[in-house]
Amino acid sequence: MSTNCVELRGLTFSRGQRVILDSLDIDIPRGKITAILGPSGCGKTTLLRLIGSQLRPDQGSILFEGTDISRLRRQELFVLRERMGMLFQSGALFTDLSVFENVAFPLRLHTDLPESMIRDLVLIKLHAVGLRGARDLMPAELSGGMSRRAALARAIILDPELIMYDEPFVGQDPIFAGVLRDLIKRINEAMGCTCIIVSHDIAETVSISDYMYVLSEGRIIGQGAPDAVMNSDDARVRQFLQGLPDGPVPFHYPAPDYRSDLQLEEM
């Protein structure tokens, strides 16, 4: 068996006329943290949805532990997804359930454990994210950072082999971002699971990832160990990583000549 948990081969996905992902080849090594970086709207979230098989690719294959998940049927997918965890951008806690019930939800569905054991497992995971005391709160009563941590506890409750993080650091203050970063690292080390982080938050992501891909307009423009990518010579990678306003990604939306547009010619 290969050392990769997920392998994407020639993955193409388009929405209407717009090609979002253009024949991508990506390997996600097992047990490592892989970061997928790229500017907003480059198809990162779509990529996660494809790996979670909530979307079907137009072309190409998605291998998860050797199985091509893009060929599976609906009910087979539901079984397979028990082995995946996903932390959504907004947390996506179920608003009608308390924090405790949210975390217990996958357990109640997929296992027949007695109530006392469910309670212990949920409290262990809640303790790991520091929310053991918040178990009886409703999601509406949590702050953004707290609900994301509760969602993280839910994502890891079944000890999945693969955890996907969709923009985990977006909209977080530095303290929470730091907390989350350490959590992701600790979970990865403690559970030995494969992690995919999709983000445009470079500093936080680079510090914990083992391997990086940089995506732009549906293509891979750079990949490698974090150090190598950070020191890349590629102009597009440099522009993104260093946050330069103008470069290969132009500052201006395509427009006719400025002077003629302002009708300054006659003067």
Partner 1 sequence: MLSYLQRLGRTGLDVAAGFGRAGILLAQAVWGPIDWRYGPGLLLRQLHFVGVYSLIIIVVSGVLIGMVLALQGYTVLVRFGAESALGQMVSLTLLRELGPVVAALLFAGRAGSALTAEIGLMKTTEQLAAMEMIGVDPLRRVARPRLLAGIIAMPILAQVFNMVAILGAVGVGVSWLGVDAGSFWSNMQQSVELGEDVMNGVIKAFAFGVVVTWIAVFEGFDAEPTPEGISTATTRTVVYSSLAVLAMDFLLTAIMFGVD
The sheet carrying 4-15 orders its strands as 18-29, 4-15, 59-64, 67-68
CB of 266 to partner 1, least distance (A): 37
Applying CB under 8 A, what is the total number of residues that bind partner 1? 27
Structure token digits, residue 141: 């009563």
Spatial distance between the Cα atoms of 65 and 101, rounded to a whole number of angstroms: 30
Contact between 49 and partner 1 (CB under 8 A)?
yes
CB of 166 to partner 1, least distance (A): 8
Contact between 86 and partner 1 (CB under 8 A)?
yes
Contact between 110 and partner 1 (CB under 8 A)?
yes
Binding part of the chain for partner 1, among 16-24, 105-113, 175-183, 212-220 by CB under 8 A, reads 105-113
Complete DSSP assignment for 139-166? GGGS-HHHHHHHHHHHHTTT--SEEEEE
Q: Which of 229, 177, 167 has its CA nearest to residue 200?
A: 167
Spatial distance between the Cα atoms of 130 and 121, rounded to a whole number of angstroms: 14
CB of 149 to partner 1, least distance (A): 15
Considering only residues 78, 124, 171, 186, which one is a binding residue for partner 1 as defined by CB under 8 A? Answer: 78
Give the dihedral sign, CA 9/207/237/36.
positive
| Binding letters toward partner 1, positions 153-192, x by CB under 8 A | -x--------------------------------------
Of 81 and 200, which has the nearer Cβ to partner 1? Answer: 81
Contact between 92 and partner 1 (CB under 8 A)?
yes
- Which region, left, alpha or beta, applies to residue 167 given φ > 0 means left and ψ of -120 to 50 means alpha? left
Residues of this chain that interact with partner 1 (CB under 8 A) are: 49, 52, 54, 74, 78-79, 81-82, 84-86, 88-96, 105-106, 108-110, 151, 154
